[in-house]
Amino acid sequence: METTLASSNDWRAQQQAHFRRRALDNLTIVLFLAPAFVLFLVFVIYPILQSVYYSLFNWKGFGPAVDFVGLNNYVGILSDQIFLKAVKNGLLIVALSLTLQLPLSLALALMVGRDLPGRTFFRTIFFMPYVFSEVITAIMWQSLYNPDPERGLINALLVLIPGVKAQAWLGDPNMVMACIFVVLTWKYFGLHMLLYMAGLQNIPAEIEEAARIDGADRRQLLTYITLPLLGGTIRTTVYLSAIGSLQQFILIWIMTKGGPVNASEVMATYMYRFGFVRFWLGYGCAVAIVMFLICLIFSLVFQRMARQPDYLGSI
């Protein structure tokens, strides 16, 4: 299909062929995009619009929605102490993820990505939790946290220490969030570690070598070379981690159902409770929209504030 007309002197024919090829190219693009675009419209945009519609009704999920209540559902959500608690818990997970989970992942990436002996072994081990399904993870940790020392491994080990008593863990409203955070960290640090390792591999060895020749010690190498060049990856993981934390559901629902007494409630468990346990589908839709807006606003602000240097840097 190499255009044989190119050898011809006919400028018009050449031009026509060019346009035809352009049109064909565009058609190709459109055809390739169309299936994904249609799926996106049907499965993402349409349900969101539908949720917005239902969120304006007092609707129980059966039959058509008829009881229009305007913005009442939203007023109810924003004035509900339990929802505010859920938002607070979500922000707590975000804060802890950013201050503990990500630095841990980075530290491990620096170790297993570079010079630790047996690093492939550790890499596999560290990544393993991420491969497990969330349901399996939740059930496994539920057993580990079992308050009965004869059934829960953690308590079984704890009672071996003289003077230490078994703890209620997930059954203790004051401890439950910390317990859940441990599970979240265990589950997701491997993913972030992997992202950091990929980022580290993109840093040219020459730059580090040059710095070393200039007399930079290990600490200087890390703070002036490695971390700045890893900036893009760090921003990506911060974004993923924050959004993931705000939308956390499966692990928490299985382990605690948001309990005891809403102590581990997050926005998604709150939404499920009202939508699918109490059958208040309209209210549940409104919660979903509030969640969507919170995540959207966070994304936009984050893109604006943190992501920009990436684009500039790549120019």
**Whole-number minimum distance, CB 51 to another protein, in Å?**
13
Query: What DSSP state is assigned to residue 221?
Result: I
Element holding 105 (H helix, E strand): helix 102-112
> Binder to another protein among 171, 231, 232, 244 (CB under 8 A)?
171
Measure the CA–CA gap between 287 and 289, rounded to whole angstroms: 5
**Whole-number minimum distance, CB 201 to another protein, in Å?**
30
Size of the site for another protein (CB under 8 A): 35
Nearer to another protein, 88 or 151 (CB): 151
Nearer to another protein, 80 or 208 (CB): 80
Query: What is the DSSP annotation of 157-212?
Result: HHTTSTTPPP--GGG-TTTHHHHHHHHHHHHHHHHHHHHHHHHHHTS-HHHHHHHH
Residue tagged 């290990």 (tokens): 218
Measure the CA–CA gap between 196 and 126, rounded to whole angstroms: 13
**Whole-number minimum distance, CB 262 to another protein, in Å?**
8
Q: Does 80 bind another protein (CB under 8 A)?
A: no
Interacting positions 9-68 with another protein (CB under 8 A) = 28, 31-32, 35, 60-63
Q: Which residues contact 257 (CB under 8 A, 6 or more apart)?
A: 269, 273
Nearer to another protein, 31 or 312 (CB): 31
> Binder to another protein among 278, 293, 300, 313 (CB under 8 A)?
278
Residue tagged 């549940």 (tokens): 284
The residues that touch another protein, with contacts defined as CB under 8 A, are 1-2, 28, 31-32, 35, 60-63, 146-148, 151, 166-173, 176, 256-257, 259-261, 273, 276-281
